[in-house]
Amino acid sequence: MKSISLPPLPPSTASGPASRWRWLVPVLLVLLFLAVLIWLPWQAREMESNERQEQLIADTLWVEQTLRFELARNEEALANLGADLVVKPPPNEMLQARMAQMFKSGHELERLVWFGADGKVLAIHGAELPASGLAEASRATGEVARKTHGGRYSDPYGSTALAHGLLDYHLPLYHEGAYAGSLVATYKLKVLLDETVPWWFAQDNMLELLDKDDKVVAIRSAGGPGRGVYTHKHALDLPGGLITLATDSTKGAPRLLPNLLVGSVIVLALGLLLSLAALWRHIARTLAAEAALRQQMAFRTAMENSLVTGLRARDLEGRVTYVNPAFCAMVGLPAEELVGKVPPMPYWAPEAMADYEERFQLVLSGEATPQFETVFQRSDGARVPVLVFEAPLVDSRGRQTGWMSSILDITDRKRVEELNRKQEEKLQESARLATMGEMSSMLAHELNQPLAAISSYTAGALNVLARGEDAAQPVDAGLLRRALEQARQQAQRAGQIIKSVHEFVKKREPERQRVEIGSVVEGVRALIELQARQGYVVLRVQVPGQLPPVLADRIMLEQVLLNLARNGIESMQGEPPERRVLRIEAHAEGGQVAVAVIDNGHGIAPEVAARLFSPFFSTKAEGMGMGLSICRTAIEFHGGTLTHAANPGGGTVFTFTLPQQAQAEAA
């Protein structure tokens, strides 16, 4: 069989086009990969740059809002102060205290000035005004604020070379439509930036405050000057003045890694590990926080359930949102019948309904009484005296959401106070009786004199009548009238002594009323003089006639004065006759009326002075040790003090002070 051979194919036909495509595809893929490698970092760089710029803009807006919030807070404080000034200006000390409080909470304040309607300075706090007064731009702003009836800011002024600019805020004050002056607050812009801009933001950015001519009036740059890559300007939204906040980041443009592929793989691997670690850490923290929260909730529930103090939470509308078991036991109602209730509450006592309504109106206005006593009515009708403490409830964002009340059942305390009051009355009565027992002999001697005089005068009158009858002559009416008048005076004197003793020892409830110190001294002067004459003591009284009245129980004050006088007389028994002088003096000072009982006796030893007012302590063999203790209790019952001091001339000065009637009624 004959073989047939085929001709060979040409090289170009077999390998040309196919070979080019086989090389072209890998090359294109490599180029595409390189292009992607180049494009992705460039795109990432652009995205990072845009992100930094957007972050800078967002941070700048946040700083601007922070600055505006700080200024708005001061605007509100100035508005409240201005409202009080035009209605009823407080005393200068109180006004300076309020201004000082504003400076304490706002360190950016340079000065605070209160101008009257005539432009005169009525009060100033902080830096003194320059001799030339306010800056020209500030004065123009003040005129605009007065015309527009609203607060306005001036343009920045001050040292632009040192970037220590100042800014004035003018708040015009009006009362019943008439201009009543203005408040001008001067801000230090540099301090404003330092106080309001966080350190971490100032570390990465240079912040500047620019005026309308783009001149720097304040600057803060903790991390050095900005690089000019990422910048942003934003005008502060202030009524009046034009201030621009300029931010320049200290960061430069993002740089590419030298070996992008290796760096990308490393970054991705590290990022994955860090992400996993961060996720694990976040999950662990979340679980720990949940466990701690459950533990705290269990602890809080157990603690609140074990408290004897009642807890009650209310929202801003007065609706009860929470009560603890102690409160439920206090009012005799379960929690489900209390939560969600709005006033009037079922535990309000009818006799105190007006007080409840008044306090509820204060709650609605956001001014709850922080501490007060009232009465609750238990479900069985029993009355429970309680002491209530109110405090605002604030959420995590600092906003008030309601009121939290702590309620204490003070039934036992009231019972103890009533028992102490009754015991105190018994002690006072016993002291008065003891005092009168010691004075009984002197009273007998003192009453004997007017009785003997009455007997003599009446005997004389009878003799006059007898002589007239024997001689058949008219009776001398003048002589008879004088004898009877003298007898009447002596009888009145004896009756006054008996009346003083009766008023002093009779049992009565304490009654506060308007009392003149001079009349108190005169009321017991006769009894003091009895003791003074018995001990050969001279009594000298120096009480001005125009002393302010006090609000007190007259009999209690008389007992204190008589006890102190008796002690002073007894302390001078061992002194020479010329030194036996007891002085009672009184004066008014600082809203108080002071009464001093001064003797020239032996004085008080230091070891005795430490226990002088202690109950049942006495230096007298027959003394009960209750006199000075009762005196101090009686004075403190009236809101006063009882003290003692050495008399420079020898002896002791006992002084008690009482608030004047106006201060006592205000308290």
**Residues 610, 582 share a domain:** yes
- Position of tokens 């931010």? 247
Strands 581-589 and 538-542 turn out to be parallel
> What CATH code is carried by the domain that includes residue 665?
3.30.565.10
Rounded Cα distance between 439 and 187, Å, is 74
Q: What is the CATH number of the domain that holds 391?
A: 3.30.450.20
Could you tell me if residue 615 is inside a domain? yes
- In three state form, how does the secondary structure of 181-248 look? EEEEEEEEHHHHHHHHCCHHHHHHEEEEEECCCCCEEEEECCCCCCCCCCEEEEECCCCECCCEEEEE
96 lies in the same domain as 239: yes
Contacts of 529 (CB under 8 A, 6+ apart): 539
First to last CA, the chain: 144
Q: Is residue 521 located within the same domain as residue 493?
A: no
402 and 416 share a domain?
no
Instruction: Characterize 286-309 residue by residue with b for buried, 16 or more Cβ atoms within 10 angstroms of its Cβ, and e for exposed.
Output: eeeeeeeeeeeeeeeeeebeeeee
485 and 530 part of one domain: no
Does 397 share its domain with 444? no
Domain boundary among 249, 268, 296: 249
Same domain, 340 and 355: yes
Claim: this prediction has a pTM higher than 0.85: no
Counted domains in the chain:
4
- One domain for residues 595 and 531: yes
Which domain covers residue 396, as residue numbers?
Answer: 307-409
> Are 399 and 433 part of one and the same domain?
no
Identify whether residues 210 and 230 lie together within a single domain. yes
Q: Where a domain ends, among 375, 409, 443? A: 409
Question: What does R_g of the chain's alpha carbons equal in angstroms?
Answer: 46
Residue 21 lies in a domain: no
Q: Which residues of the chain have pLDDT under 50?
A: 1-15, 19, 257-259, 262, 442, 507, 616-617, 621-626
Residue 294, in any domain of the structure = no
Residue 131 lies in a domain: yes
Q: Residue 422 domain-assigned?
A: yes
Determine if residue 641 is left, alpha or beta; phi over 0 gives left, psi from -120 to 50 gives alpha, anything else beta.
Answer: beta
In a domain, 44, yes or no: no
Residue 185 lies in a domain: yes
Position 194 in a domain: yes
CATH, residue 416? 1.10.287
Instruction: Say yes or no: 65 and 181 in one domain.
Output: yes
Helices (H), 325-405: 325-331, 353-364
Residues 521, 635 within the same domain: yes
- Last residue in a domain, options 409, 440, 461: 409
